[in-house]
Structure formats: structure tokens, C-alpha cells
Amino acid sequence: MLSQKARYALRALVELTRAHPAQATAGELAERADAPRKFLEAILLALSRNGLIVSRRGKFGGYVLARPAAEISFAEIIRVVDGPLALAPCVSRTAFRKCADCPDLATCAIREALLRARDATADVLDHYTLAEAAASEGAEVFQV
């Protein structure tokens, strides 16, 4: 399940995309994304540290995307905020580890279904970009 933190991150970055080429402050993004400002500031810091956005300091500072919106996928944002897309660590591509209660990966009865779910989820989210989300007229960003 997508965390509230990831929802705020997606909303804020879609709003930042819509503001382009102008930059936006954390306060402006919090208002547009309907997110608590302090919580969003922590999210923006993580996104900045991971190279998705750039922070500009000063009286006229704010945030801008680090790359074109068409090159930033929803999956990339979610991975920064929530971690792997996989439902279990044994099917994660970025954080693989054997499940603590699994006696054998090769004979696990549920692993195949979890692999398929991960692949399908990743396929959609890896190919859906901020540019697409920002361009969707009339679509509520808040329904992410």
C-alpha cells in the first residue's frame, strides 16, 4: 500500500511540475498538495538528497525539478520515499533478501504471485512520469 508520505511526495512533485519553469517554495507546495508543511519539508529534503529536485536557498529560493518531468517516474519517487515496490523482500530487485519465515525460496508457494505483482506494479509506475500526471487535465492529483 502506498504510504501517506509517498502520496504527499507525488502530489508535491506534480505541483512542482505544473509550476515549471518557475520554482515553488515548500509552503506553496504544501498548500497545493494539501500536505502538512513540516512533514512535506522532510520529504522534499529526501527528494533533494536523492537528486530528484534541487533546493535553492535565499529570500527568493524554492524548489525545482533536477531533471525534465518526462524523465522522472512515479516509481523513482516512491522508491525514494517508501523503498522497494515489492510486497515482500524476496521479490525485490533493489533490496532483495530472503523472508525470515521462508524455509526455501525455490519451493515458496506465494513467491511467484508476488513476483508477478511486483513486475506489473513496476511496469506501470516505471513508465508513468511527472509530465504525464501534470498534463492530465481535470484529473485530481489528490487521487494518487
Within a domain: 143: no
Q: What is the pTM of this model?
A: 0.87
> What is the C-alpha R_g of the chain?
17
Within a domain: 117: yes
Contact status, residue 117 vs residue 85, Cβ threshold 8 Å: no
What is the domain extent for residue 21? 4-136
Within a domain: 142: no
- Per-residue pLDDT 10s for the chain (144 aa) are 899 999 999 999 999 999 988 999 999 999 999 999 999 999 999 999 999 999 998 878 899 999 999 999 999 999 999 999 999 999 998 889 888 888 888 888 899 999 999 999 999 999 999 999 999 865 554 443
Within a domain: 131: yes
**b vs e for 73-96, b when ≥16 Cβ sit within 10 Å of the residue's Cβ?**
bbbbbbbbbeebbbbbbbbbeeee
Total domains in the fold of the chain:
1
Within a domain: 52: yes
* C-alpha angle 98-103-109 in degrees, rounded to nearest 5: 90
Domain CATH for 21:
1.10.10.10
Region of residue 80 (phi > 0: left; psi between -120 and 50: alpha; otherwise: beta): alpha
